[in-house]
């Protein structure tokens, strides 16, 4: 898979962890995030990652900030992006199966009950189910 990942200063360690995990599994990772904890604004990183994703050739994106909240809100302002702020493997799986999420958001300052790499794995393994969910996605798109 080809994945774009971006982060602000609140998720440097998590970005390194997830990017290394993805690369070790043979995936191609485009890192648009920061590698040091020098302050950057998460809306800028979200926009950069989303526009890169929309340029084509990516399977999905990952955006990270301190909580995952701000960067997910910013990502969802971009037409064509469905970014899910998830909490565990269950919500990650359903984000793909029911909402056809093309971005995953996590927080670098959040203490997850599950390993973030397990959450990411669940997201990657899930497939959009379509069916009854397609009508709901159309309604979401109409809100844009």
pTM for this predicted structure: 0.95
Computed over every residue of the chain, the mean pLDDT equals: 97
pLDDT at position 144: 79
CB 108 within 8 A of CB 75: no
pLDDT digits (tens, 9 = 90+) for 39-89: 999 999 999 999 999 999 999 999 999 999 999 999 999 999 999 999 999
Catalytic residue among 9, 50, 65, 83: 65
Domain topology for 2-143: Ribose 5-phosphate Isomerase B; Chain: A, (3.40.1400)
pLDDT digits (tens, 9 = 90+) for 122-137: 999 999 999 999 999 9
Catalytic residue list contains 65: yes
Please, is 122 exposed, middle or buried when counting C-beta atoms within 10 Å of its C-beta (0-12, 13-18, 19+)?
buried
Catalytic residue among 9, 50, 83, 98: 98
Catalytic residue list contains 133: no
Exposed e or buried b per residue across 54-93, where buried means at least 16 C-beta atoms within 10 angstroms of its C-beta: eeeebebbbbbbbbbebbbbbbbebeebbbbbbbebeebb
């Amino acid at each position: 898979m080809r994945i774009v990942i971006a982060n602000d200063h609140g998720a440097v360690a998590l970005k390194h962890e997830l990017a290394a995990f993805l690369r070790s599994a043979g995936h191609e990772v485009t890192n648009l995030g920061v590698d040091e904890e020098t302050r950057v604004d998460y809306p800028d990183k979200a926009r950069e990652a989303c526009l890169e994703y929309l340029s084509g050739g990516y399977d999905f994106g990952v955006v990270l900030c301190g909580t995952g909240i701000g960067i997910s809100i910013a990502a969802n302002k971009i037409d064509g992006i469905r970014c899910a702020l998830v909490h565990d493997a269950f919500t990650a799986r359903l984000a793909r199966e029911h909402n056809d999420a093309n971005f995953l958001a996590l927080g670098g300052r959040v203490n997850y009950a599950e390993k973030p790499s397990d959450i990411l794995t669940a997201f990657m393994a899930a497939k959009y189910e379509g069916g009854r969910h397609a009508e709901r996605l159309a309604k979401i798109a109409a809100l844009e």
